[in-house]
Amino acid sequence: MLMASWVQRLNELEPVGVIVFLLLLGSLVQGMRRGASGSAKRLFFFVWEGIVIAVCLVLSAQLTNRLSPAAAKWLTGAVKVPQQELSGIEQAWYTLVTSLRDFALLRYAVMFLLSYLLLRALAALIEPLADRTVEGMLRSRSKEEPLADIRGQKQASRAVGAVLGAIHGAGRSFVFVALLFVYVSLMPNGWYVEQISNSQVYSKAAAWLSPVAGDVLTGQGPVFTEAVEAQFKQILQRKYEMIDYAIPAKIEQAAVYVTKDAQTDEAKARSLYEWLGKRIAYDYDKARNYEEQGIWKEQNPPETFDTRKGVCIDIARLYAVMARSVGLEVRVVTGMGADGSGGFGPHAWNEVRIGAGDDSWIPLDATWANAGDWFNPPGFDETHIREA
């Protein structure tokens, strides 16, 4: 019976509550061992560390907000992917720099992290000065105290150290629970979130934190998670662009021939769209094998060009290679396309830049060319939902 009751109590223990208890107990024991002087110093630097972290986070956010647009503009002018076959290292490098250029969330995260690390390094240069100052204050205070009752002083010092240690532990526990609160708010479907939310210790702390941070974090979790997932998929998709920057001579010659009579970028883009729509057949067998058996055959643009068949991603990649070979700025877009039955399924298409400015990108879907005019038609966004 006794053993069973102990097992039941252990099962009822909350991980969050256990961690908070250990933080408090550990800080209390440390305070007693170090005494008032050592605990006061540790408490000071705990507060100092918290202030430094908060200041660095705020300044990093301000710096990133100011510098991110400028960095995007600079990368746009500085990064030019060479029109040649890239090695594995070159593919990784250009995937990184073009992703930083084009994906604001990734660029913000990287710049924020770098800014924070730089500011923390600068703050570390000031810490020795603060250390000497606190050490001097504690020594001068200890010299002023009478030495009559050393034993009593030690006991009093340990008692005061225990109190300061407990305060230190409370601060540590607060930071721990606050981090859990941010994690649960931003990642509502994340690992172990349900167990954290069911903890009584966390629930009570979250009830106090919600009025402070709720307006900032409420509702941001799903939006933030979806944004991260979408940009992560786009970054993975960027690998196709890096691989496809090598333009085979036969594809380049075909693109030049197809666009020989085109006088404008829009005319070139439409000529390529019509050529692929007439000559590249949709590979229903490949699509069926993937949908029914989960078998996916990776296919590069030369294979699509030679076999004259492919699925949407294959056709979009071939279009992108041909468009780049005649000087067009083009990108592959992935998302969801209308299936004709009121639903949507995974799909890929292209966007081509016609003119200057952010509004100069026009959409086209060469895969659907046989089913109508899908070269920048009205209502394109109603049937194509891009990952964003």
CB 105 within 8 Å of CB 64: no
Same domain, 210 and 305: no
CB 348 within 8 Å of CB 387: no
pLDDT in tens, 161-189: 666 667 766 767 776 777 777 677 556 66
Same domain, 321 and 288: yes
Alpha-carbon Rg for the chain, nearest whole angstrom, is 31
Same domain, 220 and 253: no
Same domain, 175 and 308: no
Name the domain boundary from 160, 190, 224. Answer: 224
Same domain, 181 and 134: yes
Cα four-point dihedral sign 150, 153, 159, 162: negative
**What's at 188, amino acid-wise?**
P
Report the pLDDT value the prediction gives residue 150, as an integer from 0 to 100. Answer: 46
Residue 138 is part of which domain span? 9-224
Residue 231 lies in a domain: no
pLDDT in tens, 279-300: 999 999 998 888 888 888 888 8
* Confidence band, pLDDT 50/70/90 cuts, at residue 318: very high
Residue 246 vs residue 321, higher pLDDT: 321
Residue 230 lies in a domain: no
Residue 281 lies in a domain: yes
Residue 63 lies in a domain: yes
Report the pLDDT value the prediction gives residue 89, as an integer from 0 to 100. Answer: 80
**Averaged pLDDT for residues 230-247:** 64
Lowest mean pLDDT among 10-24, 65-79, 93-107, 222-236: 222-236
Entry pTM? 0.51
Lookup: tokens for 171:
């601060």
Report the pLDDT value the prediction gives residue 147, as an integer from 0 to 100. Answer: 42
pLDDT for 254 beyond 90: yes
Same domain, 306 and 340: yes
Percent of the chain with pLDDT over 90: 22
CB 300 within 8 Å of CB 246: no
Lookup: tokens for 220:
């941001």
Distance, CA of 113 to CA of 125 (rounded, Å): 19
Distance, CA of 256 to CA of 254 (rounded, Å): 5
Same domain, 172 and 262: no
Report the pLDDT value the prediction gives residue 131, as an integer from 0 to 100. Answer: 64
Residue 239 lies in a domain: no
Distance, CA of 166 to CA of 29 (rounded, Å): 9
Residue 190 lies in a domain: yes
Question: To the nearest whole number, what is the mean pLDDT of the chain?
Answer: 76
- For residue 296, the domain's CATH number is 3.10.620.30
